[in-house]
Homo-oligomer: A and B are copies of this chain.
Amino acid sequence: MSRSLPTKKEFIDGILSGNRMFLSRAITMIESTKKEHHELAQEIVEGCLPHAGSSIRIGITGVPGVGKSTFIEAFGNHIIQEEDRTLAVLAVDPSSSRTKGSILGDKTRMDTLSNNPKAYIRPTPTSGSLGGVAQSTRETITLCEAAGFDTILIETVGVGQSETAVHSMVDFFLLLMLAGAGDELQGIKRGIMEMADAIAINKADSGNENAAKRAMTEYKNALHLFPPTESGWIPKVTTCSAYHDKGINDVWDIIDEYIRHTKTSGYFNNKRKQQAVYWLEESINQELHRKFYENEDLQLMLQKFREQVQRGEVSTQKAASLLIDKFFNS
């Protein structure tokens, strides 16, 4: 069933009044591959930009099985009920690129939160490159902030390349872990632990409390071996049971302390500014990259050179020069 598209002004006014239908349709425009949708989306984002920026942006990661959906549900209900906040939940990993299921593909796993008028849950985009989805997610943050959400949670599965992208669009990065899962490593990709501003060891319940406490000590010791963070913040480790709604307040308190710490030091605003310039340069790089790799005249040549550099038959710089010359002359 085709619906006529609202105007740019209707979209912007709708979003600023907190209307979810307009918000959802605008996000769909952002994610659309149609040129006219994309152009309209850009104008909507531009119109919302002056009303955005005042939320707390939190990245959350952890492998499937760690209890992310249950945690987000408990965390969301806590900050809405106890902290008088509002929450938008977004995801970065395109579901097509996942081997394991996305929590956000299935809103029904966050029952109470998805029915709460102070929460907005956006299902995972079903396709697209990581670069494209990351860009869309940043624009979606702008729209959600303009719609009045003061807390944005961005979920990622912790096994892919997405964490760096999420890390560079959030104020705070939370890593969910398990204790006593028989494997301390739990499939978390190398480097992710070092990004975390806090680690929460979930499922500290049902006789697992002591194992969780031991894991907490181990992670504290491990984090102690890491170099200090740029913000001067020492990453915290805590335990919680999302299922039994225990320790969720501690996680929020850590985030709150971090925000106050970095706002006082000026790091919060500096980081936001750095992120903006980073994303400007990322957008430029992506666009240059796209134009190059989508150039049909280059495809065969590129494939030939890939094979030749692997066999050591041509230097990467010579191959690159020849490709670039062809690109700018075609």
Using a CB–CB distance below 8 Å, which chain A residues touch chain B? 42, 45-46, 49-50, 52-53, 135, 138-139, 142, 184-191, 193-194, 218-219, 221-222, 224-229, 273, 276-277, 279-280, 282-289, 291-292, 305-306, 309-310, 312-321, 323-324, 328
Min C-beta distance of A139 to chain B, whole Å: 7
Q: Which residue in chain B gives the minimum CB-CB distance to A319?
A: B280
* Residue from the list B185, B222, B228 in contact with A221, Cβ < 8 A: B222
**B-side contacts of A280, CB under 8 Å:** 305-306, 309, 316, 319-320
Decide if A289 touches B288 in the complex (CB within 8 Å).
yes
Min C-beta distance of A325 to chain B, whole Å: 10
Tell me the bound Cα distance from A320 to B53 in angstroms.
20
SS class, residues of chain A in contact with chain B = helix
Decide if B49 touches A283 in the complex (CB within 8 Å).
no
* Residue from the list B53, B184, B285 in contact with A289, Cβ < 8 A: B285
Tell me the bound Cα distance from A221 to B219 in angstroms.
10
Decide if B225 touches A193 in the complex (CB within 8 Å).
yes
**Which has the most chain B C-beta neighbours within 10 Å: A189, A316, A317?**
A317
Q: Which residue in chain B gives the minimum CB-CB distance to A187?
A: B227
Decide if B225 touches A46 in the complex (CB within 8 Å).
no
Number of copies: 2
Knowing A222-B221, A288-B289 touch, does A49 contact B188 (C-beta < 8 A)? Answer: no
Decide if A190 touches B227 in the complex (CB within 8 Å).
yes
Min C-beta distance of A125 to chain B, whole Å: 16
* Residue from the list B142, B277, B314, B321 in contact with A49, Cβ < 8 A: B314
Decide if A284 touches B320 in the complex (CB within 8 Å).
yes
**B-side contacts of A188, CB under 8 Å:** 227
Decide if A225 touches B218 in the complex (CB within 8 Å).
yes
Tell me the bound Cα distance from A318 to B42 in angstroms.
7
**B-side contacts of A224, CB under 8 Å:** 184
Min C-beta distance of A251 to chain B, whole Å: 21
Interchain Cβ contacts under 8 Å between A and B, 24 examples: A42-B315, A42-B318, A45-B317, A46-B314, A49-B312, A50-B313, A139-B317, A185-B228, A190-B229, A193-B226, A194-B194, A218-B221, A276-B310, A276-B316, A279-B316, A280-B305, A280-B319, A282-B316, A283-B319, A287-B324, A288-B288, A288-B292, A291-B324, A291-B328
Q: Which residue in chain B gives the minimum CB-CB distance to A194?
A: B190
18 further A-B pairs in the complex, CB-CB below 8 A; given A193-B225, A285-B289: A45-B315, A45-B317, A49-B313, A49-B315, A52-B312, A184-B224, A184-B225, A185-B228, A188-B227, A191-B194, A194-B194, A221-B222, A279-B309, A280-B309, A284-B320, A284-B323, A287-B324, A288-B292
